[in-house]
A and B are shown apart, each in its own frame.
Chain A
Amino acid sequence: MSKNAAQWSENPGFPQTHYVDSRIYADAAIFAEEREKIFKPSWIIACHESEIQGPFDYRLFNHPTGVPLIVVRGDDSKVRAFYNICPHRGNTILYDPAGNAKRMTCIFHQWSFDTRGNCVDISRADQGYQNRFCKQDASMREVKCEVGCGGFVWVNLDDNAASLGAFVGGAMDILEPFMREPMEVFHFHKAHVRTNFKLWHDTNSEFYHDFLHYFNRITGMMQPGYFDRRYTGFPNGHATVGSMEIRYDKYEGSKDRAVGWPGLAPGGWYMVDLFPGMTYNLRTSVLRIDTAIPLGPNEVIIEFRGLGLKRDTVEERRQRIFDHNMIWGPFGRNLHEDLLAVHGQGRAMRDGTDSRWVIQGREEGGTIHDEVGMRHFYAEWSRRMERPAYDPYREGKPEPVRAAA
């Protein structure tokens, strides 16, 4: 029997931890609050160290709060991060997304900065400022920056934030054995999708949607061990997914892997979802990293990176690129399906559609089709936002009519 308006608005018959009010995916005020309470104090992946290998190499990064950043390796090889905003007239300092800059010079009035954030030249300073303002007054704004968890460059806009290690905790332990060798980014692309960033992270946090993917059904879901994969939650909203043996030979066009990943069993697959929007995904011969950068409540840029080993031979790298593209490239079998699905969610949940709830009610002992990964995320989201995801406006909806086990 279909539902009328009142029934459509009723809470789903689950405990409050098992559903979300879908207005949190469309509300501009909530999104502004997320930038301040969630993204500003979180550690976010800006790039990988292999993208800035030499002194003075830099990489631009648009932080999810909206702040434009420069990540640069200094003359001392230390990696630092600064606002890409000139302290003079607020112009963009560096325009190209990557490069090498011994001096970072604003094109507008030629104020120049070194890779430690010091202003090293102000054009005609004495004539204009006399003794009232000097280079020491015009330093760049530096933000916290650490390299870790596989050589990734992390940034944090909160000067008082705890260390990256404290933020990640034990969530990366499952991947640590596989990230002992230097890695290198060989693939980078962005996807611009009209959807909420949380919906992308949800997709990375649940495997029930393997029904979406023919590739995953035939190589995974139909194989022994699939339903034994287990979620583990960690403090700060992070979660991991244990491995199984994927049967790639079951998909025509795929094949046995001549190139694997050091320490990873053939067909192994590990995932780590880091709050609030980053995912490590290790399978076949490739490590994929997703970084969600929201632009608005219903708009997100997702940065995708594919990594191999720095010591790869030409042939090994070619195989990793093939493996990556088969499922995860812009023309890959799975990525398009995932993006299409969250695009559809964005269409159905945008402001004014009367979408009401997202159910996260599956309980299967923490195994692969259990939706505990999403529930774990929204527990942290609710804590940080100081508003429950199931009742974000504290409208005090009545308790669910039917309690789940």
Chain B
Amino acid sequence: MVKTERRYQIEELVYRSCLALDAKDWKSFLDLCDEQFHYTIATFSPEIRKDMVWLDHDKQGMVTLFTNLPRHNSDHSPITRHATVYTVEVDEATSEANVVSAIQVFRTLLDGGATELFAVGRFHDTVKLTDSAAKLARRVVRLETRLLGYGYHVPF
């Protein structure tokens, strides 16, 4: 059983990561990540019956991605990540926790403000724990949604 305080700390890490990305506050997001952080978006295609990776970066790769964003033409509609932490499993021996969260991503159109469901999936996070902090060491976004219209430049 995970101690309430520890679980609260881990849940807050997941939620803060969503808030930072929603706000396009890349620095705050990266501050939540361990130096060994690795980010992946993956999904399964029933059409070709294969697992697919759609985005895969280490921490420096994420920094570069964020740095390049203003140089590109992108959809400027904001997206909002709604996460619910489902399970937290702490391995005291390695001081890591495996965390599974449900994630829904909504996109709000700039003209008129209509909000539409953009994507659903799960966060599979590995969290590195110290006495005082919890940091994201790995995030795998497993998407169920594969039809993303004209796409998006910002990771979920």
Q: Which residues of A contact B (CB under 8 A)?
A: 51, 59, 96-99, 185-193, 212-215, 251-253, 321-322, 325, 329-333, 335-337, 339-341, 343
Contact = CB atoms under 8 A, between A and B. Distances in A.
Contact of A336 (B56, B68, B152): B152
Interface of B: 41, 45-50, 52-56, 61, 64-65, 67-68, 71-75, 146-153, 155
Most buried by B among A185, A251, A340: A340
Contacts of A339: 149-151
A340 B75 contact: yes
A333 B150 contact: no
Contacts, number: 104
Contacts of B150: 191, 193, 336, 339-340, 343
A191 B73 CA distance: 18
Most buried by B among A97, A212, A335, A336: A336
B149 A212 contact: no
A335 B103 CA distance: 24
A335 B74 CA distance: 10
A160 B45 CA distance: 35
Contact of A98 (B46, B75, B147): B46
Nearest to A340: B150
Given A189-B146, A212-B73, A252-B64, A333 B45 contact: no
Contact of B52 (A51, A188, A193): A188
Most buried by B among A97, A331, A341: A331
Contacts of B48: 51, 98, 185-186, 188
The 7 A-B residue pairs whose C-beta atoms are closest, nearest first, are A339-B150, A253-B64, A336-B151, A214-B71, A97-B47, A188-B48, A331-B55
B42 to A, nearest CB: 10
Contacts of B149: 191-193, 339, 343
Q: Chain B: interface secondary structure?
A: loop
Contacts of A251: 68
A191 B151 contact: yes
Contacts of B71: 214
A340 B74 contact: yes
A336 B153 contact: yes
Contacts of B148: 189, 191, 330
B153 A325 contact: no
A252 B48 CA distance: 32
Contacts of A252: 64, 67-68
Contacts of A332: 151
A333 B54 contact: no
Contacts of B56: 321-322, 325
Contacts of A325: 53-56
Contacts of B47: 51, 59, 97-98, 188
A301 B64 CA distance: 31
Nearest to B50: A186
A213 to B, nearest CB: 8
Given A191-B148, A191-B151, A98 B54 contact: no
Contacts of B64: 252-253
Contacts of A192: 147, 149
